Amino acid sequence: MVIVLLFGLLIGRLYNLQVANDSQYVSISDQNRIRLLYTTAKRGEIYDANGMVLATSTPVFTVSLMPAEIEDAEALAEVLVPLLADAEITTETVVEALQSQSRSYEPVVLKRYPYEEGLLIVTRLEEMRESLPGVVIAEEPMRYYPLGSLAGHLIGYVGKLSKDEKGLITEYNYQLNDWLGKSGLEATMERLEVDGTEIGLRGTRGLERVEVNSKSRPVRTISSQDPVPGNSYVLTIDAEVQAVMEQSLADMVAQVQRNYPKCRVASAVLLNVKTGAVIAMASHPGLDPNDFANGLSQEKADYYFNNEDRPLLNRAYSGSYPPGSTFKVATAAAILASGQIDPNETVVCSPSNWPYPRAKCPSSHGTVDMTKALALSCNTYFQEMAYRIGIDRFYSSCYELGLGQLTGIELTNEVAGLLPNPKWKEETFKDDPWEYTWRDYDTFYMSIGQGYNLVTPLQLANCVATIANGGDLLKPYLVQTITDAEGNVVYEAQRQVTNHLTLDEEGLEKLRAGMHAVIEPGGTASSVFRNFPIQVAGKTGTAQTGIQGDNDQEDFHGVFVAFAPYEDPEVAFACVVEYGHRGGTTAGVVCREVLNAYFKLDASPLPDWLPESSE
């Protein structure tokens, strides 16, 4: 009877397991033997205009933990931590990582290792596989930038999904361990959609259903779905010209620092005047996206986030500055467009014509017309003529040149600068009974680029491009074409006109001639472009910073704009060297080197010392 009773209990237990709760235990069994492995997709590659690789992927090994398969986190950590021999990974960090994972079916990535280093670690872990339940080793792509910091601000960088971005998990099917674009094109082109189709840089992850044995070793692949790489991008950037621009900015900042220690940052832009394509855009100090590709070290984090020079900021389109005398180009366009002023009409520049509240002129230029006023950067002429046409006409033409508004380039955090007018002043100073009203001095100082007006280097370059190409304000762009994984072109950039300057060709030619006079003998930039192989048209600027605490007699930003060649313009340039003092001999020198690289010239080097001129 004892035997019968024991067999009865056994049969009852077997019935309970195999019949009554069959589906539950089958499910548990399947979960124990079948593991779902997601395969990370490669991000799309990024190329310069000539096919040079700017961003790609390199294979790495990841060591991850599956929370659902781990019963004793501390026991596992005590075995795993010595094998990894990584100062950043301790028993406490392993336990904390597992506890913080709310989605137990998703792996927790502990570390990504470069391929060669990873091979050694993988070997050690596989030898101890039986003591490491829930440890998953996988090979996946990691973002890599072969040219380092070149165009780093434009390309941007990637980072892990943050707590603030968890909404992307449900909205766009991300996972907690995913890496995504955080800045630059990496961010704006992460999930780009055109006509309802996603053509961004991120790909589609793959999925494998793998059978494992009791020791968590793979036995066979039940099914698999290959990952689909992201789309690849060809940019308008010329990497060789970009490299020259970045190096020239760095060299100029270092040179100016010897006499003006405040000079630490600078930025520049080179545009195609006929299409709006960005050929080069740089901001100094630079940014190396590789620093972020596998997580920032503390040293790098301090450099990027605790640095008063703000290396993460792309000043070329996110930095706004007083334009100084480079704004006289826009003022001249407004004067010509008004139809109220004969461009051959003259003004006498002498101390007797500088009554308060007009700004003084750096020199007494005598009798000047528009061409001479641009060449010599005469404050007196532009103040008088801007006053005559009135602020409404003045503002309208400047707006047609794209000032005071976003350009629409495919990057985040662009700033619009500031183009003031009476309405703006009323809204801004509504509690100030004096400043509330637009005064004559507002027009005077705005006309010479030292009023409330602020610009970005990108806006300045686009303004000059509009004058050079016949009056079309174009939308600048960085992405020329996008291709899918099969090589099909799914997007191609087109020239986009966003506004048009109300000025006939005769007036534009008069304005371009004035800018050309700036480069000719006697002009404020003649020393920089003496004997240059091609004809250039430009405008210098020495802008008071407007920053509280700065000395308005010593602290100036160096600003320069240009287009070239003068006879048949191809490119427009703008540069700001913060605390660069003189625009012609600082930003102008950067322009010379960039144009020399773009046109593949062999211009003779400049002397170590250049004469300064009033700007």
Whole-angstrom CA distances from 157 to 189, 294, 312, 457 are 12, 11, 10, 22
Interhelix angle 379-389/328-338, nearest 10 degrees: 40
Tokens of 318: 């996110």
- 325 an active-site residue? yes
CA distance 394 to 388: 10
Q: How many CB atoms sit inside 10 A of residue 600's CB?
A: 8
Give 469's DSSP letter. T
Q: What are phi and psi of 465, to 5 degrees?
A: -60, -35
CA distance 411 to 275: 18
Where helices occur in 16-164 by DSSP H, the ranges are 22-33, 73-84, 91-100, 115-127, 152-155
- At residue 165, the 3 state secondary structure works out as helix
State the first-to-last Cα distance of the chain, in angstroms, to the nearest integer.
114
Q: How many CB atoms sit inside 10 A of residue 195's CB?
A: 7
Half-sphere exposure of 535 (CA within 13 A, CB side): 11
Tokens of 191: 């999930």
- Strands 232-235 and 46-47 come out as parallel
157 touches 287 (CB < 8 A): yes
155 touches 185 (CB < 8 A): yes
Give 16's DSSP letter. I
Among 57, 325, 377, 397, which one carries the catalytic annotation? 325
Residue 475 backbone class (left: φ over 0; alpha: ψ -120 to 50; beta: rest): beta
537 touches 566 (CB < 8 A): yes
244 touches 594 (CB < 8 A): yes
510 touches 536 (CB < 8 A): no
Residue 366 backbone class (left: φ over 0; alpha: ψ -120 to 50; beta: rest): left
Q: Assess whether the previous peptide bond of 59 is cis (omega < 30° from 0).
A: no
Q: Where are the beta strands (DSSP E) in 289-401?
A: 347-349, 366-368
232 touches 541 (CB < 8 A): no
Please give, one letter per residue, the 3-state secondary structure of 73-114: HHHHHHHHHHHHCCCCCCHHHHHHHHHHCCCCCCCEEEEEEE
CA distance 363 to 354: 11
Question: Which residues are within 8 A (CB) of 377 and not within 5 positions of it... i.e. 6 or more apart?
Answer: 325, 328, 362, 518, 524, 539, 540, 614, 615
Q: How many residues are given for the chain?
A: 615
Catalytic machinery residues = 325
